[in-house]
Amino acid sequence: EIVLTQSPVTLSLSPGERATLSCRASQSVYRYLAWYQQKPGQAPRLIISGASNRATGIPARFSGSGSGTDFTLTISSLEPEDFAVYYCQQRGNWPHTFGQGTKLEIK
């Protein structure tokens, strides 16, 4: 199965700063990668699909890039509501595995 490794495990930033989250796959997943945001006590929410397509209702400050094995989620200017855990998921091969998550916390 494809292993996704997210880095960093924890990212400490302040509102207004730029966040860059990484997801690396153990083999190519082409552009079949999604990103999710999860806040405590809530179900995950789809942020990005197809590596770079924002989901419905997701603000433009969220962007995704990458292909093959290396992917990035960028939040251009952090808002207070963006502090959460972010997961990547590959959808190129069964099983559709998740990364272990990056916790974005307020500095």
Q: What is the DSSP string of the chain?
A: ---EEEE-SEEEE-TTS-EEEEEEESS--TT-EEEEEE-TTS--EEEEETTTEEPTT--TTEEEEEETTEEEEEESS--GGG-SEEEEEE-SSSS--B---EEEEE-
CB 104 within 8 A of CB 84: yes
Residues in the chain: 107
Q: Is 1 in the site for another protein (CB under 8 A)?
A: yes
Closest approach, Cβ 15 to another protein, in A, equals 25
Q: Which of residues 37-66 bind another protein (CB under 8 A)?
A: 38, 43-46, 48-51, 53, 55-56
Q: Is 100 in the site for another protein (CB under 8 A)?
A: yes
Nearer to another protein, 31 or 75 (CB): 31
The residue within the footprint of another protein, chosen from 7, 13, 61, 98 (CB under 8 A), is 98
Q: Which of residues 62-91 bind another protein (CB under 8 A)?
A: 87, 89, 91
Residues that bind another protein (CB under 8 A): 1, 30-32, 34-36, 38, 43-46, 48-51, 53, 55-56, 87, 89, 91-92, 94-101
